[in-house]
Amino acid sequence: MSEEARLVVVSNRVAVPKARGAAGAQGGLAGALNAALKDRSGVWFGWSGEEAEENSGEISTQTTDGVTTATIDLSKRDVDEYYNGYANSTLWPLFHYRLDLAEYERETGKGYERVNERFAETLHPLIEDDDIVWVHDYHLIPLGERLRSRGVENRIGFFLHIPWPPTRLFVSLPYHERLVRTMLHYDLLGFQTQEWLDSFLHYCRTELGAEVDDATGSITLEGRTTIARAYPIGIDWDHFSGLKDTGDARQAEQRLLSSTRRRTAMIGVDRLDYSKGLPERLDGISRFFDRFPERVRDLVFIQIAPPSREDVESYQQIRALLEQKAGQINGARSEVDVVPVRYVNRGYSHAQLHGFFRAAKIGLVTPLRDGMNLVAKEYIAAQDPEDPGVLILSRFAGAAAQMQEALLVNPHSPDDLSHAIATALDMPVDERRRRYEALISTVRYDNVQDWTNNFLRDLDAP
């Protein structure tokens, strides 16, 4: 990696440090990106998360520990059309295989292109000749092409954090070919898994007629070559595992252990999103208690589901459905001193989640489709090596490719989920340790710092 090349990271939202030193204290993706930016005196550009009456073109900048954050506000129309509209009501459901929820509206598509154009217009003057640029996620797919149209010749990479759907689904998107052609203006494309990469390469070969080399990931179309590879993201191992000794983590662990009254705690932690399979998960738990009603005194399920995208109607609907299903299970199975399901509609700190994970002997991670899913990895990272819990994981999560020693399930099948819960509840400690030792290796060594370094190494290569 060139020592001179400054790094410019672009994402929909920016993790703006609240105070000096705050960036270094962050875990996960934000922490890893901040570390890379700090090493290279970089710039992080994106939306501030704030709405303005009109687009002024004004950039808000601040520099902390050598990292400059540069943010712009968006108008209410921009947020409605680009963010709530095309990004989260069209691309998000389609890329998670939910054609039934994807909305194809001409105006939101125009809004998406307009905001990407504005990002390019505002970002362009900030890019210096030797910079390398790293664009993140589905909100900003056309940004590289928009920068190229302004004469930017720097190395530009793009990473997609969510799945890439099969060609037969993706072609339902109006102007799908135009969107993918914009991607081929990046020098390097990153996907979470080989499966998502293969789907993208298949589209380029069959729909665009591009020359594709599966061995190297090179895609050549109309004289331009782009490299596409899989880079599975990991957790910040040092940061997350270090939370074990914090007061918040220990307090959270004891709080959960004391409240479960010797019952086995099973936990799920997910954003409130239909891709996470939460209604289906509750159906599986209901099936388990139907099969083993006496085990209501052995197991308590805690579902933590912070709300997200509350302006989008489908998210309002899923919240109501979850509350209904949790209420039905509790209504049928509760006793005066036992409630089988605790549904918590709020978020917790990373340290508190570490404590909850450590106290829970079953981790239930069952998305219907997920680019990776770091909750699965965090759950394993939090376990006691002498008495580890069991991870139940959807085979449709990207993490399943790396975590074969978990109990892999079909999240659409209540019977499969019920069987896995029973297996996990009765699994002997020797088998739990064997599975844990295999899982912890990939969690520890395939971490977010390696992911960052691997992508930037390839992006920096000529």
Q: 11-60, pLDDT tens digit by residue?
A: 999 977 654 333 334 456 888 888 899 999 899 999 999 998 877 778 99
Q: Which residues, 6 or more positions from 418, have their beta carbon under 8 angstroms from its beta carbon?
A: 284, 285, 287, 288, 290, 291
Q: 321-339, pLDDT tens digit by residue?
A: 999 999 999 999 999 889 9
Q: 68-113, pLDDT tens digit by residue?
A: 999 999 999 999 999 999 999 999 999 999 999 999 999 999 999 9
Domains of the chain, first to last: 7-234+448-460 (3.40.50.2000), 237-445 (3.40.50.2000)
| Residues annotated as catalytic (active site), given as ranges | 161, 370
Q: 220-261, pLDDT tens digit by residue?
A: 999 999 999 999 999 999 999 999 999 999 999 999 999 998
| Strand order across the 264-269 sheet | 341-344, 299-304, 264-269, 362-365, 390-394, 407-409
Report percent pLDDT > 70 for the chain.
96
Sign of CA dihedral 191, 195, 196, 198: positive
What is the amino acid identity at position 162? I
In whole angstroms, what is the distance from residue 199 CA to residue 209 CA? 14
Report pTM: 0.94
Determine the pLDDT at residue 22: 36
Determine the pLDDT at residue 29: 82
Across the chain, mean pLDDT equals 93
Q: How many CB atoms lie within 10 A of CB 381?
A: 24
Q: 172-201, pLDDT tens digit by residue?
A: 999 999 999 999 999 999 999 999 999 999
